[in-house]
Amino acid sequence: MPEIKTQNFSAASAEAILDPKLRRALDRVAEGFHVARLDRIEEVTQETWDGWKDQAREIKVHTIEHLDYYLDLLDKNVTAAGGHLHFAKDADEANEIVAHIVRTRNIKIVTKSKSMVSEELGLNPVLEAMGVQVWETDLGEYIIQLAEETPSHLVAPALHKSKEDVAALFSEKLGIPYDEDIYHMAATARMVLRDKFMEADLGISGANFVVAETGTLVIITNEGNGRLCTSAPRVHIGITGMEKVIPSMQDLSTFLRLLPRSATGQRITSYVSMTTGPRRSEDEDGPEEFHLILVDNGRSKLLADPALRESLYCIRCGACLNICPVYSRIGGHAYGWVYPGPIGAVVSPMLVGLPKAKELPQASSLCGACREVCPVNIDIPKMLLDLRKKTAESPDSSLRSAPETERILARLYAKLMSSPRLLKMAVKFGRFTQKLERMTPVFSPLTQDGKWIRNAHIPILSRWTRSRDLPTLPKQTFHELWEKELSRDDS
């Protein structure tokens, strides 16, 4: 697995939020996707859209509830088509399956189309260590491979890079003159990669869906690189998460309506490539061997947990990232692992281990925008809340997300709010300290008019008042006003 940096979320996000270039990139791409997505919904009407969403969710619920059945069916049909299906329980096992094929088939050059699961496995370094050349062929993936970075978005991996960044990168790594023209840059990448498609012995692809009834791997792309990876080399390996199985081609049609519209706001992507087994005798081209590796790598933990199971319905469209007010300010890298944004904050903790990523579910205002845009109606806020429950009061201290003081404060809060008498005393004490502060500011200086606390030095309060003012306690609570005047006025 790639390096896990989820523990550094606070520091990484604090740095990212100050990066104006990142913000511009996020506004341009994520916001652009979001606006295009809304246009597509308007086109088909909200009612139709909601119907598709419900249908998609129903398919996912059914499939995940009967996952073992559909995996068996898929296995049978992949084999019947002349392919091989492999199950990998974790990243090491998946990488070893690929490594074994590479060794035994004397593979020297690999072309890859976009695969987040291969990022999750950390496959490229494993192959490179074997002396194999690995070429990412999705333009965004190619850019970040050259830059030696990781994807920052599920569908737009190089979203964080401006065209100036890419021009400088191409100039440095490819030894060509600096040229910001996007068409020229794409043409350069195409020229470099075109030869590789022809030279490659092995093509590795991800899968947006795998269809159980036919054993078909489906990828949707805009660059055509996916089709070249899956057809030109003599061996094709598809790698994906075991949750990507869907029952039938008819079900696929539902998802093909939803995924491009949700992801990039396209009615359909430029290419929808379906691969069923290796080349048949009557086929003009296609690989001699077809392997499909289905990866667990922590997904069975999500499957076993009724509160988190629906995270397996995710089709990785990225709509929740694009709408998220947190993601759209800090970008993907701050999340510290392969899957960023709201869905990443649910999935990553379960895949890398909750103790390492317990901070991620906290990093949400629970505004619910992600649930609203999800094409399969995944209740992400509810799962974030569930993970907060799992980390707040766990007897296992490695799971607890906050210092002991927070637990004590939570208990004190419940005690205080359970006793109107105690609360009244606390409010009086608060007003008294405000008076003292007004005379001699010590912990929480008040503004001139006494209406606001500014630049407090007390923990927690100080985190609020570093850039915002906090209203002071007024002379009377509503309770007091009610008792004194309001209660009598009822006519």
Partner 1 sequence: MTANTKITADLFVTCVVDQLYPDVGVSVVRVLRRLGVSIGFPGDQTCCGQPVYNTGYSHQARILAKRVLEQFKDSEYVVVPSGSCAATLRVFYLEIFADDPQLLTEAKALAAKTYEFSEFLVNVLKVEDAADCGASHEGTVTYHPSCHLLRELGVKSEPQKLLQSVPGLEQKELEGAEICCGFGGTFSVKFPHISEGMVTDKVANVQASGADTLVSCDMSCLMNIGGSLNRQESNIKVRHLAQILDVESE
How many CB atoms lie under 10 A from the CB of residue 167? 21
**Distance of closest approach, residue 41 Cβ to partner 1, in angstroms:** 15
Nearer Cβ to partner 1 (144/345): 345
Which member of 88, 369, 378, 446 binds partner 1 (CB under 8 A)?
369
> Interface with partner 1 includes 92 (CB under 8 A)?
no
Q: Judge whether 154 and 318 are in contact, CB under 8 Å.
A: yes
Instruction: Identify residue 14 by its one-letter amino acid code.
Output: A
Nearer Cβ to partner 1 (13/150): 13
**Distance of closest approach, residue 417 Cβ to partner 1, in angstroms:** 4
CA nearest neighbour of 121 among 142, 99, 105: 99
> Interface with partner 1 includes 411 (CB under 8 A)?
yes
Q: At what angle do helices 404-417 and 420-439 cross, to 10 degrees?
A: 110
> Interface with partner 1 includes 467 (CB under 8 A)?
yes
Instruction: Identify residue 126 by its one-letter amino acid code.
Output: V
> Interface with partner 1 includes 51 (CB under 8 A)?
no
Taking CB under 8 A as the criterion, which residues in 287-326 touch partner 1?
Answer: 325-326
> Interface with partner 1 includes 474 (CB under 8 A)?
yes
DSSP string, 133-199: EEEE-SHHHHHHHHTT---SSSS-TTTT--HHHHHHHHHHHH-------HHHHHHHHHHHHHHHHHH
Taking CB under 8 A as the criterion, which residues in 377-406 touch partner 1?
Answer: 382, 385, 387-393, 401-402, 406
CA nearest neighbour of 461 among 447, 451, 471: 471
Question: For residues 386, 324, 147 and 94, what is the CA-based torsion angle, rounded to 10 degrees?
Answer: 30
Q: Look at strands 216-221 and 209-211 and give their pairing.
A: antiparallel
**Distance of closest approach, residue 59 Cβ to partner 1, in angstroms:** 25
Q: At what angle do helices 20-44 and 249-263 cross, to 10 degrees?
A: 130
Supply φ then ψ for residue 477, to 5 degrees: -85, 170
Nearer Cβ to partner 1 (236/400): 400
> Interface with partner 1 includes 481 (CB under 8 A)?
yes
> Interface with partner 1 includes 362 (CB under 8 A)?
yes
DSSP 456: -
Q: Residues 417-436 vs partner 1: string with x where CB under 8 A?
A: xx-x--x---x---------
**Distance of closest approach, residue 182 Cβ to partner 1, in angstroms:** 28
- Applying CB under 8 A, the residues found at the interface with partner 1 are 10, 13-14, 17, 325-326, 329-330, 362-369, 371-372, 382, 385, 387-393, 401-402, 406-407, 410-411, 413-414, 417-418, 420, 423, 427, 452, 454, 460, 463-464, 466-471, 473-474, 476-483, 486-487, 489-491
